[in-house]
């Protein structure tokens, strides 16, 4: 029969292990989201880093789960904001260069009438 102190120590280790697994799962979710945002925007890691004013290494660390969670969450949030209004990567290069679709504007002749 194990002693009480050993059982309590094992319970403590179990709780710490569960917490570590939860942190790893949250980091993995951020990594996936970062990749999805980049793919939807058609960005490389360098492009994404440039968009949010970070280094490519920071994007790599996020996507490999090596960045502290709070910093990674802030970067992914910035990526979300930077990607808003961007055409999907499947759009033609010309339409991506022109930016998001806008409403039809009147031609000069239509405005003069």
And the tokens for 47?
Answer: 């492009």
Count of structural domains, the chain: 1
Packing angle, helices 56-63 and 45-52, rounded to 10: 110
**pLDDT band, very low/low/confident/very high, at 112 (cuts 50, 70, 90):** low
Does the model's pTM come out above 0.85? no
Residue 41 in any domain: the answer is yes
Residue 81 in any domain: the answer is yes
Residue 107 in any domain: the answer is no
- For residue 66, pLDDT over 90 is answered with yes
Residue 86 CA to chain centroid, in angstroms?
15
pLDDT tens digit sequence for 6-57? 656 667 667 788 888 999 999 999 999 999 999 999 999 999 999 999 999 9
- CA proximity to 35, closest of 60, 69, 66, 53: 60
* Average of per-residue pLDDT values in the chain: 78
Residue 110 in any domain: the answer is no
Instruction: Print the domain residue range for 37.
Output: 4-100
Residue 51 in any domain: the answer is yes
- For residue 91, pLDDT over 50 is answered with no
pLDDT tens digit sequence for 3-14? 655 656 667 667
**pLDDT band, very low/low/confident/very high, at 64 (cuts 50, 70, 90):** very high
At residue 14, the pLDDT reads 75
Residue 62 in any domain: the answer is yes
CATH number (domain holding residue 96): 1.10.260
């Amino acid at each position: 029969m194990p002693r009480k102190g050993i059982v309590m120590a094992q319970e403590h280790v179990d709780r710490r292990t569960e917490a570590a697994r939860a942190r790893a799962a949250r980091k993995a979710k951020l990594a996936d989201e970062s990749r999805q945002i980049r793919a939807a925007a058609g960005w490389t890691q360098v492009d994404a880093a440039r968009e949010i004013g970070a280094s490519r290494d920071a994007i790599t660390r996020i996507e490999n789960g090596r960045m502290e969670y709070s910093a990674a969450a802030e970067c992914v949030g910035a990526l979300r904001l930077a990607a808003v209004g961007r055409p999907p990567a499947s759009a033609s290069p010309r339409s991506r260069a022109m930016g998001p679709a806008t409403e039809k504007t009147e031609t000069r002749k239509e405005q003069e009438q």
